[in-house]
Amino acid sequence: MSASNIAVHTAGNYNFYKIAADGKTFVIGGVPEEYSADYINIAASCDAAVLLTSNPEFTGGLDGVLTRNPDIEIYAGSACLRNIKAILNRAVNERLVKDNMSLSGIRFMVMPNLRWVDTIMAVYDGVLFSGEAFSGFDGSAVGLRQYFDKRLAVNKPYVRTAIKRLRTERLKAVYPAYGMTCPQGTVCESATVAELLESYEKWSAAETSSGRRAVVVYSSEYGFTGALAERAAKRLCGSCEVNVYDVSSSNLSEVIDAVNRADMLAIGTNTINRNAPERIWDVITRMDLMNKRGMPYFVFGSFGWAGDGIRLIDKTLTAMGMRGVTRPVDVLFKPEDKDMERMDAAVDKLTAAV
């Protein structure tokens, strides 16, 4: 199907587009290598290829195009040009695209992190070539939402910025990298451009937060680390909204959701065989590093001989970019009053840091 002089091509749910403008032909977007036969045929005969990202999922046919047409002009943002040369390991006839630049009626917008850092979008004749944004539409909003959750939700602040900007455009259609186009093109009956923007606005909305949500997560075999966790929770209660989770008896997804919504974290671990227990590591490996970088934390725990687990967790969180507010509160076996006072002092540093 086509709108004006835009041709829509689809391969395995991936879309790419061909525009004839100003006596020049452009191919916009791309497909994975396994679906690239048509893309290579069509793009190789074009004057220019516009890359909306360097992500190989959407540039899988480019090497084949360059083999047939090494002089094809490659239009892309600066990060994308750098990346694509390192992905293909070859030089390209590069044309740098800057924000708001126009070329033969095609206007470019730099839209970082949707989903790759080097993403741009293009608008031609009121049609938005949106790349991964607005992808996944399958005739109902379900596919659109799933795609958003899986690929874009991690970068919600960037989605919000993009939507704000797109609201200022007069768009009559959205042509994404994957899934159905909207509202015309490869069949789309139930969404309008306004509905797409509204959905993305709703899904990417910033959570309203007091900014003082604390989570205490701990692992404890004999209750010693548990007693420290209780003390932390009690002190936090006065000034914060607190959730406390014993990892051995809590639903891990719930714990991780809470950690990823929190503004501060107190994490307690016992040490077993020179390590922290697996479920503590499970929480850590599933932390949202895109959005939780810099979150204040401290580590606490009871140990028996060297307390390696406590130090491992502390070092890992620091390496992940979290902000340790104090040295770990490490306690030899059963906590006594002076240890509880150390916990209070650590909690006070934590709350002071947000």
Ligand X SMILES: Cc1cc2nc3c(=O)[nH]c(=O)nc-3n(C[C@H](O)[C@H](O)[C@H](O)COP(=O)(O)O)c2cc1C
Which residues of this protein are in contact with ligand X, per CB under 6 A? Answer: 220-225, 270-274, 302-308, 333
CB of 118 or CB of 330, closer to ligand X: 330
Nearest residue (beta carbon) to ligand X: 304
3-state DSSP call for residue 119?
coil
> Can you tell me which residue has the tokens 């989903």?
115
Structure tokens at 53: 């990202």
Nearer to ligand X, 16 or 298 (CB): 298
CB of 345 to ligand X, least distance (A): 20
Tokens linked to 199 = 């959905």
CB of 311 to ligand X, least distance (A): 10
CB of 214 to ligand X, least distance (A): 20
Residues in the chain: 354
For ligand X, which is the closer residue by CB, 202 or 305? 305
Amino acid identity of residue 65, one-letter, is V
- Judge contact between 280 and 247, C-beta under 8 A: yes
Count other C-beta atoms under 10 Å from residue 142's C-beta: 11
Q: Which is nearer to ligand X, 32 or 223 (CB)?
A: 223
Contacts of 317 (CB under 8 A, 6+ apart): 267, 284, 297, 299, 324
d(CA 148, CA 159): 10
**Residue 75 phi, psi (nearest 5):** -95, 125
Nearest CB to ligand X, comparing residues 227 and 240: 227
Shortest separation between residue 230's beta carbon and ligand X, angstroms: 12
CA-based end-to-end distance of the chain: 53
Q: Percentage helix, strand, coil, to 5, in the chain?
A: 40, 25, 35
Q: CB of residue 310 vs ligand X: minimum separation in angstroms?
A: 8
Nearer of residues 148 and 300 to ligand X, judged by Cβ = 300
Which residue, 55 or 220, is less far from ligand X as judged by CB?
220
CB of 268 to ligand X, least distance (A): 8
d(CA 31, CA 50) in angstroms, rounded, equals 13
Cα separation, 253 vs 282, whole angstroms: 10
Spatial strand order in the sheet of 127-131? 102-103, 106-110, 120-124, 127-131, 173-176
At closest approach, how far in Å is the CB of 300 from ligand X? 10
Nearer residue to ligand X within complex by CB, 1 or 332: 332
Least Cβ distance, residue 338 to ligand X (angstroms): 16
